[in-house]
């Protein structure tokens, strides 16, 4: 069985300050991990993915995430928040070779001018 | 540019009505999915299809059925809509195989059942 825990349902940062969105997972098999972003009234868009290559993964719009197996974590970071980053972010786990994925409940990021 | 299109962005239906939600993808993907999204619950899988005429129940299939007659189209059917099916419905598609993973999403269909 697999699960995903997003540790914060809401995060608020000031524009220009760092962003940290936390995600912990559990998986019976070597997982693939993903972060998706959803802007209001839109579908989800892939930010980045980890599929057992480099543990530090770079994504779009300056986001990156580090896979830490010992901590079962896949936290999403960005050095400097922009107003356009305000959205909801979902961490997703897919156990190796398995069809189904599991979504976290999401973290809403608010960026204050 | 890849595209997943959901035919209706907003629908309002009455309790007991039959509801069809249509999804079309232009990427020749074998796998297609229907999720519902509710605040505080994230995305929950209703049904998925790994090829034409194939379907498998997800985590919350009760009250829903699906149809996949053509590769590019995956329909979600609510036989008799109820108020607890008021939600945002998201369709997604993906290439098959253990090393692929990215889901491509439509923009969603927001259904209100009165």
- Tell me the pLDDT tens digit for each residue of A69-103: 899 999 999 999 999 999 999 999 987 666 678 89
Q: Which chain A residues have a beta carbon less than 8 Å from that of B99?
A: 51
Question: Mean pLDDT, to the nearest integer, of B2-15?
Answer: 92
Q: How confident is the model at residue B97 (pLDDT cuts 50, 70, 90)?
A: low
Q: How confident is the model at residue B110 (pLDDT cuts 50, 70, 90)?
A: very high
pLDDT at site A97: 62
Q: Do A105 and B41 touch (CB under 8 A)?
A: yes
Question: Mean pLDDT, to the nearest integer, of B56-61?
Answer: 94
- Where b means 16+ CB within 10 Å and e means fewer, B36-67 reads bbeeeebbebbbbbeeeeebeebeeeeebebb
Best of A1, A103, A104 to substitute, by most chain B Cβ atoms within 10 angstroms, is A103
Greater pLDDT, A54 or B52: B52
Question: Sign (positive/negative) of CA torsion B11, B15, B17, B18?
Answer: positive
| pLDDT over 90 percentage in chain A | 71
């Amino acid at each position: 069985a697999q699960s995903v825990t997003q540790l914060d349902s809401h995060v608020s940062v000031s524009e220009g300050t760092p962003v940290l969105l936390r995600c912990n997972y559990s998986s019976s098999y070597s997982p693939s991990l993903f972060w998706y972003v959803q802007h209001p009234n839109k579908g989800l868009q892939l930010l980045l993915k980890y599929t057992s290559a480099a543990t530090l993964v770079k994504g779009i719009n300056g986001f990156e995430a580090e896979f830490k197996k010992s901590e079962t974590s896949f936290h999403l970071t960005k050095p400097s928040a922009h107003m356009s980053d305000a959205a909801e972010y979902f961490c997703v786990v897919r156990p190796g070779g398995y069809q189904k994925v599991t979504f976290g409940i999401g973290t809403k990021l608010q960026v204050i001018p | 540019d890849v595209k997943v299109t959901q035919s209706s962005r907003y629908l309002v239906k009455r309790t007991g009505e039959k509801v069809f939600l249509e999804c079309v993808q232009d990427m020749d993907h074998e796998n297609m999915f229907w999720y519902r999204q509710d605040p505080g619950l994230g995305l929950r899988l209703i049904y998925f299809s790994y090829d034409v005429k194939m379907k498998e129940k997800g985590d919350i299939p009760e009250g829903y059925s699906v149809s996949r007659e053509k590769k590019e189209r995956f329909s979600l059917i609510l036989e008799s809509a109820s108020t607890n099916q008021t939600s945002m419905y998201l369709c997604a598609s993906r290439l098959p195989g253990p090393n692929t993973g990215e889901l491509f999403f439509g923009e969603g269909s927001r259904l209100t059942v009165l």
